Chains A and B, each alone.
Chain A
């Protein structure tokens, strides 16, 4: 009998201990962490947390309170915002939640807008160039609404084969202090069969002449008749360089006679030269007081 009493007392004791351990009010339950859902203008919205009596909103290190699940963050004057929210309870049964993941927002209207790039309208050797924009981190080049990114102030268009080109450039800001510029004025280019002869006489006694070519169609060959004053200028075949844009399996002939340089070249594989790409470089030796170099005739063979 005494033994039964002892076992009963032990069981009651264990039961009492178990019940106390399950409902210990000294261990409050942690609230769920709110999630920032969206931004609507200057208003940030987050998820409702059950048993939360209010929320603390951390905006760039400053703390604010709200009893609802939204807050107007424009109370802090800034262009870049880092916002976090945590749920708070006034009950001892609940512990405050952790702060939510930060929500970052850049008010671009508050940033300094970069200057608009100015494009150089003449495309030389297929390269588009523009003036550097102060504080730009890069540039977006829009060509017929396809965006190309670069950190340079130029872009090689030679491998972009189009019938016509609508080009604009904008400077990209750092999104902290500077925002993107507006796009530059539109540069419209419509390639056609033509050449550009440019002369560099900056080196004493050497007249470097470049001939660049463009065409709106595939090119299968060229002929050029370039005249010069043979009294004042001299040149040999070794002074004439055909640029690497010409495929290796093309064949050519260069004939210099009576103040004329005749160049013919062709091949089975066509090439695409839309925007003034360098074809020939001629280095004349100046032996007289003046000089004159010009293209007498040319033919760009589109195999039509």
Chain B
């Protein structure tokens, strides 16, 4: 999970005409789809994590499942979803 500062700036076509500009700055948690190990990049390691979970080395957390769209148990198709994200191996 990555904490990111998010700035939303709404500006009229011409501030001279309307006389105002609205700027909203918030900080929020951003999750990267497929980043199971939380290193802020999606790599083969994330795909291997799912293979390891399939083999029963550990259980994926609910948040990790959410990051790949796993509803029940991890599958080989979930592994390929990550591989497709990174363009193969």
Contacts and interface: CB of A to CB of B under 8 A. Distances in A.
B8 interface: no
Contacts of B54: 223, 253, 264
Contacts of B51: 251-253, 264-266
Interface in B40-80: 44, 47-48, 51-52, 54-57, 76-77, 79-80
B19 interface: no
Contact of A262 (B47, B56, B79, B83): B56
A263 B76 CA distance: 12
Contact of A250 (B56, B57, B84, B89): B89
A248 B47 CA distance: 15
Contacts, number: 60
A254 B56 CA distance: 11
Interface in A218-271: 220-221, 223, 248-255, 257, 262-269
B52 A221 contact: no
Contact of A253 (B55, B80, B83, B88): B55
A159 interface: no
Contacts of B48: 251, 253
Given A253-B48, A262-B56, A221 B76 contact: yes
Given A251-B47, A253-B52, A255-B57, A264 B76 contact: yes
A121 B77 CA distance: 35
A250 B88 CA distance: 8
A257 B55 CA distance: 10
A249 B80 CA distance: 11
B89 A266 contact: no
A202 interface: no
Contact of B77 (A248, A254, A269, A301): A301
Main secondary structure of the interface of B (DSSP, over half): helix
A166 to B, nearest CB: 33
A264 to B, nearest CB: 5
B55 A266 contact: no
B56 A267 contact: no
Contact of A268 (B52, B56, B57, B83): B83
For B55, B57, B76, B77, which residue has the most chain A Cβ atoms within 10 angstroms?
B55
Contacts of B88: 249, 267-269
A26 interface: no
A254 B48 CA distance: 11
Contacts of B80: 220-221, 266-268, 303
B55 A251 contact: no
B55 A262 contact: yes
Contacts of B77: 301, 303
Contacts of A252: 51
Contacts of B89: 248-251, 267
B76 A255 contact: no
A264 B44 CA distance: 15
Contact of B44 (A223, A251, A257): A251
B44 A266 contact: no
Interface in A131-183: none
B46 to A, nearest CB: 11
B76 A301 contact: yes
7 contacts: A251-B51, A253-B55, A255-B52, A255-B57, A265-B51, A266-B80, A303-B77
- Please provide the 7 A-B residue pairs with the shortest distance between their CB atoms, ordered closest to farther: A249-B89, A221-B76, A253-B51, A262-B55, A255-B55, A266-B76, A264-B51
Interface of A: 220-221, 223, 248-255, 257, 262-269, 299, 301, 303
Given A252-B51, A268-B83, 6 more contacts: A221-B79, A255-B55, A262-B56, A267-B83, A267-B89, A301-B76
